């Protein structure tokens, strides 16, 4: 990897640095035609944009997402950005840091990210088993960084889409159309050993009744890759959607999905029992709050009737603002942060075990980023807490919730 140490930057007095990146002494705005042209030239020439979020420039890299070029942070440099920069990401305070360089490999020269998956994408294929840990009920492999489980892939796409970040100006602006677009863009810059990830991921677009037939035809065309073909190995696709209900079906059960009312996800009774057992906590969290969302990620095949049949499933509850959480205490904290108009990032655990004391979120509107931890003070003394740096805030669950550090930005 290229040297990513920050270097001094020089800009003109009239430049609005919040709108772009620096490239060859010029301000580049990726959302303009001129910016796309400059990024294309830099991509071919191997030049690095710089993020001007502080007095020193933080190197970025250029990636292709569909027919557009985007600028992304270099792996391992998320903490080098200013906390109020959109590229700030405390990788050492989440499970992402353990994945970089192994399960998640970024090539800044090509802009591609290669993901090593711990689940299969074709029938008969052996998953990339991580022998350092034991299997769970639905995540066929629980990793320590060598490969991504199905749920860890969802965490990765959520992180890459920056859906783990929150600022007061986002209130009322997050909707499924934006969520789906961001997730598809994140998938467009990643590959697996089977090819581009985007070709295997299906995320429904917002449903409109007047376009029902067109949406159904488009979906069936995209699902052809997971249909059985004589003489070929059965391929699997990955579905990401919001669950509306889980109901009994004519044979087995089905997930009724929002924005996909005519395309439920079917699964047999055995998988339904495993789902209820392995994700009992997630289902209870979803049932306890009608404003929350329950996101499913599943691998599936397509039958001759055009129906999706699940093979492996994982669930992720989110708040009304689409921020992932794992227990009621975490949701109370996230809701309080939103209600008090704080700016913060949640910290996905990925596949790290519960014994690792990760913060629930990191405040980015304080003078220095402030990790927010939950847990019993005495119990945490025996936990693996490599990231419990000085200045961290903790809510002892046997006490009332303490005052939050005041905003300073």
Rounded Cα–Cα distance for residues 199 and 406 (Å): 45
Q: Which residues of 322-346 are buried (b: 16+ CB within 10 A; e: fewer)?
A: bbbbbeeebbebbbebbeeebbbbb
Q: What is the pLDDT of residue 209?
A: 95
- Range list of β-strands (E), 102-211: 104-107, 112-115, 165-166, 190-192, 195-196, 201-202
Q: What is the pLDDT of residue 105?
A: 93
State both tokens at 306: 């055009």
Q: Identify whether the C-beta of residue 153 lies closer than 8 Å to the C-beta of residue 113.
A: no
| Structure confidence at residue 229 (pLDDT) | 82
CA pair distance 348, 358, nearest whole angstrom: 9
Give CA–CA dist 406/272, Å, rounded.
Answer: 46
pLDDT of res. 19: 65
Q: What does the pLDDT read at residue 18?
A: 54
Per-residue pLDDT at 98 = 87
- State residue 275's pLDDT score: 96
pTM here? 0.87
Q: What confidence score (pLDDT) does residue 125 get?
A: 66
Residue 11 pLDDT: 38
Per-residue pLDDT at 10: 36
pLDDT tens, per residue, the chain with 409 residues: 333 333 333 333 334 445 689 988 788 999 999 999 999 999 999 899 999 987 778 999 999 988 899 999 998 899 999 998 989 999 889 898 889 888 999 999 888 899 999 999 988 765 544 333 333 334 433 334 589 999 999 999 999 999 999 999 999 999 999 999 999 999 999 999 889 999 999 999 999 999 999 999 999 999 999 998 887 888 999 999 999 999 999 999 999 999 999 999 999 999 999 999 999 999 999 999 999 999 999 999 999 899 999 999 999 999 999 999 999 999 999 999 999 999 999 999 998 888 889 999 999 999 999 999 998 655 444 344 444 444 789 999 999 999 999 998 7
Backbone phi, psi, residue 108, to 5°: -65, -20
- Residue 313: helix, strand or coil by DSSP? strand
């Amino acid at each position: 990897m290229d040297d990513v140490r920050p270097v001094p930057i020089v800009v003109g007095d009239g430049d609005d640095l919040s709108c772009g990146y620096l490239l060859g002494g010029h301000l580049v705005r990726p959302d303009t035609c001129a910016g796309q042209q400059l990024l294309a030239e830099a991509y071919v020439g191997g030049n690095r944009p710089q993020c001007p979020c502080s007095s020193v420039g933080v190197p970025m890299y250029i990636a292709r997402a569909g027919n557009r070029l985007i600028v992304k942070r270099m792996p391992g440099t998320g903490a080098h950005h200013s906390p109020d920069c959109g590229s700030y990401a405390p990788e050492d305070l989440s499970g992402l840091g353990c994945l970089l360089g192994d399960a998640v490999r970024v090539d800044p020269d090509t802009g591609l990210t290669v993901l090593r998956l711990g689940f299969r994408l074709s029938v008969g294929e052996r998953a990339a088993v991580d022998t350092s840990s034991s299997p769970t009920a639905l995540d066929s492999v629980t990793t320590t960084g060598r490969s991504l489980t199905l749920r860890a892939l969802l965490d990765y796409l959520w992180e890459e889409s920056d859906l783990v970040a929150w600022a007061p100006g986002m209130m009322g602006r997050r909707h499924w159309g934006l969520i789906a677009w961001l997730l598809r863009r994140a998938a467009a810059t990643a590959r697996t050993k089977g090819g581009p990830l985007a070709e295997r991921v299906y995320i429904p677009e917002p449903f409109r009744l007047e376009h029902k037939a067109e949406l159904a035809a488009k979906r069936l065309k995209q699902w052809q890759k997971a249909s059985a073909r004589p003489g070929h190995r059965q391929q699997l696709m990955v579905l990401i959607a919001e669950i509306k209900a889980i109901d009994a079906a004519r044979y087995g059960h089905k997930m009724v999905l929002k924005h996909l009312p005519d395309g439920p996800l079917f699964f047999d009774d055995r998988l339904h029992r495993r789902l209820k057992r392995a994700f009992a906590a997630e289902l209870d969290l979803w049932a306890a709050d009608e404003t929350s969302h329950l996101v499913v990620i599943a691998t599936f095949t397509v039958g001759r009737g055009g129906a999706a049949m699940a093979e492996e499933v994982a669930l992720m509850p989110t708040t009304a603002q689409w921020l992932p959480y794992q227990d009621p205490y975490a949701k109370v904290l996230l809701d309080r942060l939103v209600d008090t108009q704080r700016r913060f990032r949640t910290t996905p655990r990925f596949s790290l075990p519960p014994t690792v004391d990760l913060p629930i979120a990191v405040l980015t509107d304080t003078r220095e980023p402030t990790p927010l931890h939950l847990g019993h003070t005495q119990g945490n003394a025996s936990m693996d807490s490599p990231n419990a740096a000085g200045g961290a805030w903790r809510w002892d669950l046997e006490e009332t919730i303490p005052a939050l550090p005041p905003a300073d930005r």
